[in-house]
C-alpha cells in the first residue's frame, strides 16, 4: 500500500494526502545500515567473549576493557562526528564512518592479543558512536515531518536486528566451527554490511537543512523536490530559511537568551540519552551469556538463549514503532522506564532468593527465571524506551547546533555505557548478580522521576515548529 504524508496546512484547511517519494525510503534503508552495524558490533562481543577469554587469556579486568573499549571509542566518535556533521555535511561524515566500520572489523578479527583487540575495538567504536549520532539527524532532516517517527525509529529496528544477527551467527558458528578461534569469524562477518553501507552512501544526497545552513539553496530545493510533493517544496524551503534567517530580535538576544535556551536543550538531551543506558540495557546485551553461565547454564545453552533475547528485541521494537503511530513520545518513555526498573527488581529478587544449586546440581529454574526477567526487561526497553529516545534526540535540538548537540548527548550516552560495561564484571565479582541488578533498579527509580518532570512531547510538529516551541519554553524573560 502506498504511504502518504500530509502537507502542512493552516487552521481550517483540509489535509492533503501526498505520496512519500521512493527516494526517502531508499535513503532511510541505506543510512540505517549504520544502525545494523551498530547493533552487530555491540552484540557480537556477547558470544565472542566466551571464546576470546581462552584465546587471548583475558582476566576480569581485561574482559571489561575489551568490552568497554568500543564504548569509549563510541563516546569519542559521537562528539567528534556531531561537530564535523555541522561543518562537512551529514553525508560525508556518514561515508567516512562506513569506511571505519570496514577497517575496524578487520582489525578486530585479526587481533593477536588483548592489547591489539582493545585498540581495534576503540577504532571500531569511533564508527559506532558516530553512526549513532549522525544517522538519526540525517534521517530526521531529510524525511517529511509526519513520517519522521517511522523512519528515525527504523534506526532502532536495525540496531536490534544487528544484535539478533550477531547472536544467531554466534550460535551457528559455534555449532559448525566451534573452537578457540571461532570468535575471529564472528567479528569479521561485520565487513559485509559495512561494505554495502559504504557503497550505498556514495549515491545518497545530503539533507536540505544542511544545504540551507551553508547557503546552498539550489541543492536544498533539489533534494526537497526529490523527497516531497511539489506543492510543499517552496513552503518547507521557506520555513527552513526563516529558521536560520537573522532578525533584530535574534541579534539582540544572541549572546544571552538564545545561548541559554540552547544550553538548556543540550542538558535535556544529555539526560534523555543517559536514562536509556542507566537502565543497564547493555549489561544484558553485552554480558547475557556470561550472566546466564553464572546462573548455571552451559555455553551452548547460554548462546541459544541469547538468541531469544535478540528475537524479543526485534519483535518489541516493531511493536514500539506501531505504538508510536498511535500515541505520544512521553507516555511511552515513562512506561518503558518504569517497566525496565520493575524487571531489574525481579531479576535481583530471583538471584537473591532462589538457591544457585539444588540437590541434582545447578538450579536450572533459577537460570530460566533470570532469562525470563531479561526478556521482560527487553519488552519494555525495546518496545517503549529505546525507539522513543533516539527519536526525541533527533527532534529536540535547533538546527544551528543540531549536529554538535546530538554529538554531546550521544557522547554522554556512550560514556555512561562505557562506565557500566567496564564496571559490570567487577560489580558481579564484588556484589554478585543480585546486588548488581538491585543497584541498576535503584538508579532506574531516579530515571523515572526525570522522565515525569522533564521529558517533553514532540509528536506532530515539524523540526522548525519544535525549535520555536522550545525557544519559548526555555528562553528567560527579557
DSSP-derived 3-state class of residue 459: coil
Residue linked to cell 526487561: 377
The cell for 216 is 546552498
Report pLDDT for 87: 85
Half-sphere exposure of 329 (CA within 13 A, CB side): 26
Enter the pTM of the model.
0.69
Taking only the tens place, the pLDDT of each residue in 332-377 is 889 999 999 999 999 899 888 876 665 555 667 888 888 888 889 9
The cell for 337 is 522506564
For 325-385, where are the alpha helices, taking DSSP H only? Answer: 329-353, 364-380
Report pLDDT for 127: 92
The cell for 221 is 530545493
The cell for 345 is 527488581
Q: 70-91 burial string, b = 16+ CB within 10 Å, else e?
A: bbbbbbbbbbbbbbbbbebbbb
> Do 229 and 217 form a contact (C-beta atoms < 8 A)?
no
Report pLDDT for 10: 36
Rounded to the nearest angstrom, the gap between the alpha carbon of residue 350 and the centroid of all alpha carbons in its chain is 29
SS3 for 245-301 is: CCCHHHHHHHHHHHHHHHHHHHHHHHHHHHHHHHCCHHHHHHHHHHHHHHCCCCHHH
What CATH number should be reported for the domain whose range is 18-206+246-474? 1.20.1250.20
Consecutive 10-residue runs of the chain (478 residues): their mean pLDDT?
39 39 80 87 79 79 82 85 85 93 92 90 91 86 77 81 86 76 85 91 89 89 84 84 65 52 88 85 73 76 79 87 83 90 91 69 77 89 85 84 83 84 80 87 91 85 82 70
Burial class (CB in 10 A: 0-12, 13-18, 19+), 119: middle
> Do 407 and 78 form a contact (C-beta atoms < 8 A)?
yes
Report pLDDT for 176: 77
Question: Per-residue DSSP letters for 201-261?
Answer: HTT----HHHHHHTT-HHHHHHHHHHHS-HHHHHHHHHHHHHHH---HHHHHHIIIIIHHH
Give the whole-angstrom CA distance, residue 379 versus residue 445: 18
In Å, what is the CA distance from 472 to each residue of 258, 264, 466, 477? Answer: 10, 12, 10, 9
> Do 10 and 252 form a contact (C-beta atoms < 8 A)?
no
357 has which bridge partners?
Answer: 362
Q: 238-265 burial string, b = 16+ CB within 10 Å, else e?
A: ebbeebeeeeeeeeebeeebbeebbebb
Q: ∠ CA 407-412-418 to the nearest 5 degrees?
A: 120
Burial class (CB in 10 A: 0-12, 13-18, 19+), 382: buried
358 has which bridge partners?
Answer: 361
Residue linked to cell 532469562: 371
C-alpha radius of gyration, the chain, whole number: 23
The cell for 271 is 539526560
Give the H/E segment covering residue 194. Answer: helix 191-201
Residue linked to cell 569469524: 185
Half-sphere exposure of 80 (CA within 13 A, CB side): 16
Question: Per-residue DSSP letters for 100-152?
Answer: HHHHHHHHHHT--SHHHHHHHHHHHHHHHHHHHHHHHHHHHHHS-GGGHHHHH
Report pLDDT for 358: 58
> Do 153 and 390 form a contact (C-beta atoms < 8 A)?
yes
DSSP-derived 3-state class of residue 87: helix
> Do 418 and 65 form a contact (C-beta atoms < 8 A)?
no
Domain-wise residue ranges, the chain:
18-206+246-474
Residue linked to cell 593477536: 112
Amino acid at each position: 500500500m502506498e504511504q502518504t504524508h500530509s502537507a502542512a496546512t493552516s487552521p481550517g484547511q483540509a489535509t492533503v494526502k501526498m505520496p512519500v517519494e521512493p527516494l526517502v525510503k531508499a535513503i532511510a534503508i541505506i543510512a540505517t545500515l549504520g544502525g545494523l552495524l551498530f547493533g552487530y558490533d555491540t552484540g557480537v562481543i556477547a558470544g565472542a567473549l566466551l571464546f576470546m577469554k581462552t584465546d587471548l587469556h583475558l582476566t576480569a579486568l581485561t574482559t571489561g576493557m575489551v568490552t568497554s573499549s568500543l564504548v569509549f571509542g563510541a563516546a569519542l566518535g559521537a562528539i567528534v562526528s556531531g561537530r564535523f556533521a555541522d561543518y562537512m555535511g551529514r553525508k560525508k561524515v556518514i561515508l567516512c564512518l562506513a569506511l571505519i566500520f570496514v577497517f575496524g572489523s578487520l582489525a578486530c578479527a585479526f587481533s593477536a592479543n588483548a592489547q591489539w583487540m582493545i585498540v581495534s575495538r576503540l577504532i571500531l567504536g569511533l564508527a559506532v558512536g558516530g553512526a549513532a549520532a549522525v544517522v538519526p539527524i540525517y534521517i530526521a532532516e531529510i524525511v517529511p515531518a509526519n513520517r519522521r517517527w517511522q523512519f528515525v525509529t527504523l534506526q532502532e529496528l536495525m540496531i536490534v536486528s544487528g544484535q539478533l544477527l550477531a547472536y544467531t551467527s554466534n550460535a551457528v558458528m559455534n555449532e559448525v566451527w566451534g573452537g578457540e578461534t571461532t570468535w575471529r569469524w564472528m567479528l569479521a562477518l561485520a565487513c559485509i554490511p559495512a561494505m554495502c553501507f559504504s557503497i550505498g552512501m556514495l549515491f545518497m544526497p545530503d539533507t536540505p537543512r544542511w544545504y540551507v545552513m551553508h547557503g546552498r539553496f539550489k541543492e536544498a530545493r533539489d533534494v526537497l523536490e526529490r523527497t516531497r510533493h511539489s506543492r510543499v517544496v517552496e513552503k518547507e524551503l521557506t520555513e527552513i530559511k526563516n529558521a536560520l534567517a537573522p532578525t533584530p530580535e535574534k541579534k539582540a538576544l544572541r549572546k544571552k537568551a538564545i545561548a541559554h535556551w540552547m544550553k538548556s536543550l543540550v542538558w535535556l538531551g544529555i539526560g534523555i540519552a543517559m536514562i536509556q543506558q542507566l537502565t543497564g540495557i547493555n549489561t544484558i546485551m553485552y554480558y547475557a551469556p556470561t550472566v546466564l553461565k553464572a546462573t548455571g547454564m552451559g555455553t551452548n545453552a547460554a548462546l541459544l538463549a541469547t538468541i531469544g533475547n535478540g528475537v524479543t528485541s526485534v519483535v518489541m521494537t516493531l511493536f514500539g514503532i506501531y505504538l508510536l503511530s498511535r500515541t505520544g513520545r512521553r507516555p511511552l518513555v515513562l512506561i518503558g522506564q518504569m517497566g525496565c526498573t520493575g524487571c531489574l527488581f525481579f531479576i535481583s529478587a530471583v538471584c537473591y532468593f532462589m538457591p544457585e544449586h539444588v540437590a541434582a546440581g545447578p538450579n536450572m529454574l533459577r537460570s530460566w527465571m533470570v532469562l525470563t526477567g531479561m526478556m521482560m526487561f527487553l519488552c519494555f526497553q525495546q518496545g517503549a524506551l529505546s525507539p522513543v529516545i533516539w527519536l526525541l534526540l533527533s527532534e529536540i535540538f535547533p538546527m544551528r547546533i543540531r549536529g554538535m548537540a546530538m554529538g554531546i548527548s550521544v557522547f554522554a550516552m556512550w560514556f555512561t555505557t562505557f562506565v557500566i560495561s567496564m564496571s559490570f564484571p567487577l560489580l558481579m565479582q564484588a556484589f554478585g548478580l543480585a546486588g548488581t541488578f538491585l543497584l541498576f533498579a535503584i538508579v532506574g527509580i531516579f530515571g523515572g522521576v526525570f522522565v515525569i518532570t522533564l521529558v517533553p512531547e514532540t509528536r506532530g510538529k515539524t523540526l522548525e515548529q519544535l525549535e520555536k516551541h522550545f525557544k519559548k519554553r526555555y528562553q528567560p524573560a527579557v
